[in-house]
Structure 1
Amino acid sequence: MDEKDWTAIQILFQEKNISRASERLYISQPALTYRLKNLEKEFGTKLFFKIKGGIEFTSEGVHLVEYAEEMIKKLQKTKDYMLNIQQDVRGTLRLGVSSNFAQYKLPKILKRFSTQFPNVQFNINTGWSNDIINLLNSATVQLGILRGNYEWYGKKALLHTEKLCLISKKEIKLEELPELPFINYKTDSSLKTLINGWWHDRYSEPPFIMMETDRLETCKEMVKNDLGIAIVPQICLQPSDNLQIHELSYHDGEPVNRYTWLMYNQDSLQLSTVKNFINFLNENPNI
């Protein structure tokens, strides 16, 4: 087996479908099938079998997938350390970033960092914070930027603090909130918990939810068109939105804050790309 075999078997395991796996690998289905047959011949066993709509791995196949994933990690770690030996700051920085932070903050950060360190490439995974913590735990990424509180036994630093805000097209009274049409959007569990915690602190009756959207930006557009109100993190708001914005606080006056954390393992600091990126974030807190 070589690196191409490891990657092929890993992606096939993720997709459980030869057609989709070949698309992700940018090779033809016959070429992928030929590679897989050679693997089965090399190990003298069936790795998977066909089922309706895709394939299922045998126990031998699952074992080989685990081996492939371990080898991919070891190879990437070796590449990282070999590049780190050189004096220049170069190599690939693997980041896992919460979607909202990736949309509103990350592009400007990466632009300024790449101007300072032009020999650094980026491998970025974005998603909800619970997805990012899984990428960190599996060592798929070297650094994680997560929003909300997650258990992490490595290094952790506060990166960004923002308010949670109620938005509306027209001026409203907070005491009338339970009677107003409320727009929900899909988000991670930590933000849902924060929103629900504030609501239950202030009201005894649930919100009047009249719309569910798949994205925060879609929700914001609905509010812009006066179709309801919403509670959103401050990071997504711009002056050009022309919305009424109320920064939320609990009954005792404490603001409802949303925290963004930088998380990584201590060992990652041995890599010049990681160390310099962390230093860059510390030196530029207001980007």
Structure 2
Amino acid sequence: MKFQDWEMLAAMHETENITQAAERLFLSQPTLTTRLKKMEDYYGVQLINRKQRGITFTPEGEQLAQHAIKMLFEQRKIEEKLHNMKNQVAGTLRVGVSNFFALNKMPKLLRLFKQSYPDVEFQVVTGWSSDMHKLISNHDVHISFIKGDYIWNDCKDLLYKEELCIASPWKFKMEDLPSMPRIDYYTDEKMRTIVENWWYSHYKEQPNINIQVSQVETCREMIINGLGYAILANLVVRPHPELFIKPLFLPNGNPITRNTWMYYHEENLDLNIVKAFVEFIQTIDVKVL
């Protein structure tokens, strides 16, 4: 198999969808299908089964896909090793980034780092913090920026703490929240658990959720336009002093906070590119960036 075949099988294995795999590889769907057919003809076996939504691999296809994933991993390793032998900060840095951090922090960080190390390229994956934790745990990325506390026995740096708060377009009393219109948004399980635990420790009623959106940034715009209140991180609404904000507190009186971490493997610090980026992040006050 060629390198492009490894990429194709790995993308299909991860997405379980030909269309999504083609988009990830910047190919048309017919082009990918033709390449897949040639591979099936070469090996004389069927590699996938088509379903109504997506695909599954046959036993033979699964074997080839696992081989492709392994070969891509080994290819990355040798490329990193060769770059490292030059004593230069160069190559591709693979980073996993939680959604809010990706939108509000990551572009500035990458721009600043690129100014010092122009030969570095970036491969950035974004998503829920739980997904970014899986990526770093599986060595699919060099570094992950994660909101919340996950099980991790390797290196991590605390970047900042952010308070959770109630943000409203109008003045309010805490006892009025159950009757007020609330805007909810999709978030990871840890954040949802924190919010629900706080709510049901204070109120017997369910919240009056009348708008539900997919992103916290959309939720913020709904608040700004007077459509309801929301429970979210203070950093999301900090640039809007016109909003009325009250922090959430634990029973002991301490504010409820959520940590943002940089997770990485100690062994990857042997790579010049990873060491340089980690040290760069450690010198910056990311919260105020």
Assess same fold via TM > 0.5.
yes
Closer/same/farther in 2, CA of residues 253 and 82 from structure 1, 3 Å limit: same
* Matches of 1:216 and 1:5, distance apart in 2: 38
In 2: Cα distance, 1:188 partner to 1:19 partner: 26
With over 3 angstroms needed to count, the CA separation of the structure-2 counterparts of 1:157 and 1:173, relative to structure 1, is same
Give, in whole Å, the separation in 2 of the partners of 1:199 and 1:126: 29
Q: Per-residue deviation at 1:229?
A: 0.9
Aligned partners of 2:87 and 2:272 also within 8 Å: no
For residue 71 of structure 2, what is the aligned residue in structure 1?
Answer: 71
Question: Which residue matches 1:181?
Answer: 181
Answering whether residue 261 of structure 2 is matched by residue 261 of structure 1, we say yes
- Between the aligned partners of 2:195 and 2:189, the Cα distance in structure 1 is 10
Contact 2:98 2:147 in 1 (8 A): yes
**Which position in structure 2 is the counterpart of 1:209?**
209
Contact 1:198 1:256 in 2 (8 A): no
Match of 1:46? 46
Q: Indicate whether 1:128 and 2:121 are aligned.
A: no
Q: 1:79-228 residue pairs with structure 2 within 5 A?
A: 79-228=79-228
| Cα distance per residue 1:211-247 (max 9 Å; x no partner) | 2111112211221122211111122124346211112
Deviation of residue 205 (structure 1)? 3.1
Structure 1 CA distance, aligned partners of 2:222 and 2:33? 47
> How far apart, CA to CA, are the structure 1 residues paired with 2:256 and 2:188?
17
CA shift for structure 1 position 250: 2.1
Q: Distance in 2 between matches of 1:26 and 1:20?
A: 10
Q: 1:244-279, CA deviations, whole angstroms, 9 ceiling, x for partnerless residues?
A: 111222232101101011111111111111111111
Aligned partner letter, 1:131 = D
Structure 2 runs not aligned, ≥5 long: none
The aligned amino acid for 2:243 is L
Amino acid at match of 1:134: K
| Partner in structure 1 of residue 6 of structure 2 | 6
In the superposition, relative to structure 1, how do residues 251 and 31 fare at CA in structure 2: closer, same or farther (>3 Å)?
A: closer
Q: How many angstroms does 1:107 deviate by?
A: 1.6
Helix, strand or coil at the partner of 1:77: helix
The whole-number CA distance in structure 2 between the counterparts of 1:266 and 1:111 is: 25
Between stretches 173-182 and 118-127, larger displacement belongs to 173-182
Is 1:202–1:251's contact at 8 Å kept on the other side of the alignment? no
Q: Who is 2:24 aligned against?
A: 24
Cα distance change of structure 1 residues 256 and 96 upon mapping to structure 2, 3 Å threshold: same
Residue 171 of structure 2 aligns with an amino acid whose one-letter code is E
- Distance across 1 between alignment mates of 2:35 and 2:3: 12
Query: Post-superposition shift, 1:18?
Result: 4.1
- Letter of the 2:10 partner, please give it: Q
With 9-18 and 146-155 compared, the bigger mean Cα shift is at: 9-18
- Structure 2 SS opposite 1:187: coil
Which whole-Å deviations, capped at 9, do the CAs of 1:116-135 have from their partners, x for residues lacking one?
A: 21111111001000111111
Letter in 1 for 2:206: P
- Aligned-residue Cα RMSD (Å) equals 2.0
For 2:126, give the aligned amino acid.
Answer: T
TM-score normalized with structure 1 length: 0.92
Q: Which letter does structure 1 place at the counterpart of 2:86?
A: Q
Query: Quick one: which amino acid aligns to residue 159 of structure 1?
Result: L
Larger deviation: 107-116 or 123-132? 107-116
Q: Is the 8 A contact 2:167 2:237 kept in 1?
A: no
| Partner deviation per Cα, 1:172-215 (whole Å, 9 max, x = no partner) | 11122222121111011111112122223333433222221111
Amino acid at match of 1:99: N
- Matched-pair identity in %: 38
CA deviations 1:122-180 (Å, max 9, x no partner) are: 11001000111111122211101110111122222211111111101111111222221
- Relative distance call for 1:271 and 1:208 in structure 2 (3 A) is same
The size of the alignment, in residue pairs, is 287
CA distance in 2, matches of 1:264, 1:166: 32
